[in-house]
């Protein structure tokens, strides 16, 4: 090896040395066309799942025992509210790293656009890069910092908001504050959204289309409690604000499918309810039902089998997997295994995750209307949702003030509607990791095996990777 290196240096020392060194070692790094920038932005989304650790930490998880279950740190430690040391797929560290990897792609694309001779030609790509950069930072600040609170956000430590490519081995960063991060997210989001063009994408559902970007805006402003803007952006997701016809058709379609057909449809780009999808290296589809800490029989009955506020039960098909009858799964995820070569037995398992859906937009709009005092509008959205999830739905199932009072034991309509909304969302997004966001926003306590994570427990903030201390970042307190 040493002789080969010496020979190479001798060859480069000749008259052709200068010409050789002037050649770019990899032509793909030359982002000198709209097509190349667009291709780079295919990696501008965090290709990692948060469902593994947020689902285990939430009240969607219970202990199923050792028999017929899978025990891995990425499932066990979040359940016990402990920091996850593991850095593999499904861990907070893996998600953190992939968010910043996606951000790096955004920043590289934006730099190329700024340096282009004709930056106006890259308008759609600039829009995608800005919104995608805002999204990854939003997910990071949500999972690794305190939930946004206007009263404390200017003091609460945030996460680094990175807006330029790294050019040193170990870059130094500041966490700054949650308020600062939110300001930067809003800046990128509002600047980028109007630039997005759906026609610039070959496979739109894996990119921020105008629908997906507006859906993201409804989530962002819901966290910020700017409810009027939630309504504004929700109206832009579907023509005429028609969410109902774009919801998943569980009653008329899904429950009539075979298990294989349902799994194929749930995260398919042809499903109208899916607004943004990502394919990530993940064993979630393989282990979601068999993780020791997850959806268990008692939870299945309390959430799905017992009647809800409508007086009916949900239609979502549930299956128990393997020998343990506590291993429950809703037909959502299937594994795509990519072999390392045609005849290999090893490879990388992938899972497709829906990042934004029509259901979330409907729920966000309903919640905004509740806080704005538009109770009838909120009821309409919640009743529209229920009509798609209850077999044989009739007007007798409609949510009324009387039903709210009887079911939740409160005469306050606002409180009853919030309880309804949270219950509906828990059932809808089971095994997708979304419940954790409501636990954060509403400071919902979670009790696992006798230990309670209170509404202000510091362990609600997932821990930053140990490595970031080299960049000057402080860990979350414990």
pLDDT per residue, tens digit, the chain (478 aa), is 333 333 333 233 344 444 434 444 444 468 889 999 999 999 999 999 999 999 999 999 999 999 999 999 999 999 999 999 999 999 999 999 999 999 999 999 999 999 999 999 999 999 999 999 999 999 999 999 999 999 999 999 999 999 999 877 678 999 999 999 999 999 999 999 999 999 999 999 999 999 999 999 999 999 999 999 999 999 999 999 899 999 999 999 999 999 999 999 999 999 999 999 999 999 999 999 999 999 999 999 999 999 999 999 999 989 988 889 999 999 999 999 998 877 788 999 999 999 999 999 999 999 999 999 999 999 999 999 999 999 999 999 999 999 999 999 999 999 999 999 999 999 999 999 999 999 999 999 999 999 999 999 999 999 999 999 999 999 999 9
Rounded Cα distance between 53 and 117, Å, is 45
- CATH number for domain 27-471, candidates 3.30.420.40, 1.10.645.10, 3.20.20.10, 1.25.40.390: 1.25.40.390
Nearest to 413 by CA among 443, 444, 451, 371: 371
Ranges of each domain in the chain: 27-471
Is the pTM higher than 0.95? Answer: no
């Amino acid at each position: 090896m040493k002789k080969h290196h010496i020979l190479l240096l001798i060859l480069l020392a000749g008259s052709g040395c200068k010409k050789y060194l002037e050649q770019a070692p990899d032509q793909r790094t030359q982002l000198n066309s709209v097509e190349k920038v667009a291709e780079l932005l295919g990696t501008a989304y965090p290709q990692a799942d948060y469902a593994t650790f947020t689902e285990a930490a939430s009240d969607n998880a219970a202990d199923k025992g050792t028999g017929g279950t899978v025990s891995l740190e990425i499932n066990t430690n979040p359940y016990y509210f402990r920091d996850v040391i593991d850095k593999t797929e499904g861990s907070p560290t893996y998600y953190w790293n992939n968010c910043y990897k996606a951000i790096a792609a955004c920043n590289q694309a934006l730099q190329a656009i700024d340096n282009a001779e004709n930056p106006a030609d890259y308008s759609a790509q600039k829009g995608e890069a800005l919104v995608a950069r805002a999204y990854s930072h939003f997910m990071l600040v949500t999972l690794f910092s305190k939930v946004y609170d206007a009263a404390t956000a200017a003091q609460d430590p945030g996460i680094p908001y990175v807006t330029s490519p790294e050019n040193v081995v170990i870059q130094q960063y500041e966490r700054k504050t949650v308020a600062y991060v939110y300001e930067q997210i809003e800046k990128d989001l509002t600047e980028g959204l109007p630039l997005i063009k759906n026609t610039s994408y070959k496979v739109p559902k894996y990119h921020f289309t105008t629908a997906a970007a507006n859906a993201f805006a409804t989530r962002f402003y819901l966290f910020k409690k700017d409810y009027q803007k939630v309504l504004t952006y929700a109206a832009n997701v579907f023509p005429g604000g028609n969410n109902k016809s774009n919801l998943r058709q569980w009653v008329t379609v899904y429950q009539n499918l075979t298990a294989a057909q349902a799994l194929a449809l749930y995260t398919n780009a042809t499903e109208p309810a899916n607004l943004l999808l990502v394919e990530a290296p993940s064993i979630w589809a393989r282990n979601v039902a068999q993780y020791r800490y997850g959806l268990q029989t008692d939870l299945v009955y309390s959430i799905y089998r017992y009647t809800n506020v409508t007086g009916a039960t949900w239609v979502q098909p549930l299956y128990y997997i393997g020998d343990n009858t506590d291993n429950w799964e809703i037909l959502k995820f299937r594994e795509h295994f990519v072999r390392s070569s045609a005849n290999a037995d090893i490879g990388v398992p992938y899972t497709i995750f829906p990042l934004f859906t029509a259901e979330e937009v409907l729920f966000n709009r309903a919640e905004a209307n509740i806080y704005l005092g538009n109770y009838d509008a909120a009821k309409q959205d919640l009743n529209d949702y229920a009509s798609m999830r209850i077999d044989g739905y009739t007007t007798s199932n409609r949510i009324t003030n009387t039903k709210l009072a009887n079911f939740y034991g409160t005469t306050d309509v606002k409180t009853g509607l919030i309880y309804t909304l949270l219950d509906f969302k828990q059932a809808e997004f089971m095994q997708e990791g979304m419940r954790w966001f409501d636990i954060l926003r509403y400071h919902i306590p979670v009790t696992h095996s006798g230990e309670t994570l209170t509404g202000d427990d510091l362990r609600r903030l997932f821990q930053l990777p140990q490595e970031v201390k080299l960049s000057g970042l402080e860990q979350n307190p414990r």
